[in-house]
Structure 1
Amino acid sequence: MEAFLVSVVAITIGEIGDKTQLLALLLAARFKRPLPIVLGIFVATISNHILAALLGHWVATHLSADFLRWALGVSFLAIAAWTLKPDKMEESKIDYGKYGVFTITVITFFLAEIGDKTQIATMALAAKYDDIYMVLAGSTLGIMIADVPAVFLGKVASPNFPFKWIRWGAAAIFAVLGAAVLLGFGGGLI
């Protein structure tokens, strides 16, 4: 259960203001059809995070515990720094008329999530915890918690949302987690 809860919190925080959350806003503003967008985000996230969790699990089974502790701590610090950089989405060159909203969402969201900080965090969490299913479930729920409201709020709320302050708060949380891991604090939580 710990792997699930830590994954939900870490990924939800990491997703706030992220390019995939901005993509969810863009898709909602463009298509105004929330259900296929939400389902597309879910399918893309599951697919992407399965790959991340499997890679993280492989790393954990092939590298020493001390190396993993350092890698996880440094990863969290890197994610903290990365979180401070605002993501920007540019208009895609996809001809939206050829594809359904669900298909466009799955493809664009999956591609946008590759190498994203939440994918890297999912990989790091899967390396930390033995239960990759709980990490996968938690990371997917974290994405959904952050992105589903963005889909429903769409273009109306996005200009007024305090992304800057949330990014700074998220960066601080990841920095504290990274420092705690590197210093050996956190007991069973980290």
Structure 2
Amino acid sequence: MEIDAFIIPTAAVALAEIGDKTQLLTLVLAARFNAARSIILGILIATLVNHGLSVLLGQWLVDFIPEGWITWIVAGSFLAVGLWLLIPDKDDEESSRFYAYGPFLATLVLFFLAEIGDKTQVATVILAGQYESALLVTLGTTAGMMLANVPVIYLGRKAMDFVPLAYVRYAACALFLLMAIATAFL
């Protein structure tokens, strides 16, 4: 179904983002600047550009991979991302020189750079190989990123008091493992 090209990427990225370095960066930016709208807009634009390029890369790679291999590569990639989720990220706080540019530009640049090579970017490339609609995958992964990060801006550390981060990581890992099994065998 075409709607799956939006729903699955949204759920996958929202779960993969929990505890991720870009979510920690969001927390740092929210603590540094009292400008929720500017931070949200910076995250939105950085994610649309980063994930849009990632989707194009994923769809380009599919043209060069033999058709029989794609299912197994996608399933293996879901498995790898699921296991990767078990490794907690650390706050790699970027140079404070970007803070001088204000909340929007600092968020835009830092978030875009932090997302390069990140597990949510890898998941986006993988999902692009699974679905034909570049637009829906890009919008879905961006929606997932926003679902995971906007509450951090408003609620910050208090949200993590209710649910231990380790449990959320285990649940996200389980989802990716189920997606790997479903891709390979269904």
| TM-score w.r.t. length of structure 2 | 0.93
Question: Aligned-pair distance for 1:155?
Answer: 4.0
Q: Specify whether residues 96 and 117 from structure 1 end up closer, same or farther in structure 2 by C-alpha distance, changes over 3 A only.
A: closer
Alignment RMSD (CA, Å): 1.4
Given candidates 56, 70, 81, the residue that maps to 1:79 is 81
Letter of the 2:78 counterpart: F
Residue in 2 aligned with 1:32?
Answer: 34
**AA partner of residue 74 (structure 1):** G
* Larger mean Cα displacement after TM superposition, 10-19 or 59-68: 59-68
Asked if structure 2 preserves the Cα contact closer than 8 Å seen for 1:74 and 1:178, the reply is yes
Deviation by residue 1:31-84 (Cα, 9 ceiling, x = unmatched): 121110000000110110011000011012222222111110110010011100
Is the 1:49–1:139 Cα contact (8 Å) retained in structure 2?
yes
Matches within 5 A, 1:23-172: 23-96=25-98, 98-158=100-160, 161-172=163-174
**How far, CA to CA, are the matches of 1:130 and 1:97 in structure 2?**
38
State the alpha-carbon separation in 2 of the partners of residues 18 and 97 from structure 1: 21
Distance (Å, rounded) in 1 between the aligned partners of 2:126 and 2:99: 38
Deviates more, 1:160-169 or 1:71-80: 160-169
Moved beyond 3 Å, runs of 4+: 155-161
Q: Which runs of 5+ in 2 are unaligned?
A: none
Distance in 2, matches of 1:169 and 1:97, equals 34
Residue 182 (structure 2) aligns with? 180
Partner residue in 2 for 1:7: 9
Post-superposition offset of 1:163: 1.1
Deviations 1:128-172 (Å, cap 9, x if unpaired)? 111111000100000001100011112444455421100000001
Assess, with a 3 A threshold, how the Cα gap between structure 1 residues 100 and 114 changes in structure 2: closer, same or farther. Answer: same
Aligned residues: 184
**Would the aligned equivalents of 1:41 and 1:109 in 2 still touch at CA under 8 Å?**
yes
Give the share of equivalent positions with the same residue, in percent.
43
Which AA in structure 2 matches 1:101?
P
Query: Can you list the C-alpha shifts for 1:79-134, whole angstroms capped at 9, x where unaligned?
Result: 01110011111332222553111000011100110011111111111111111110
> CA 1:54 to 1:96, structure 2 compared with 1: closer, same or farther past 3 Å?
closer
Note the C-alpha offset of 1:19.
0.9
Contact 1:3 1:138 in 2 (8 A): yes
CA contact (8 A) 2:21 2:92 kept: no
Aligned equivalents of 2:41, 2:103: Cα separation in 1: 10
Matches of 2:163 and 2:150 in 1, distance apart? 15
Q: State TM-score, norm by structure 1.
A: 0.91
TM-fit CA distance, 1:2: 1.5
The CA distance in 1 between the partners of 2:110 and 2:28, in whole Å, is: 11
Q: How far off its partner does 1:177 sit?
A: 1.1
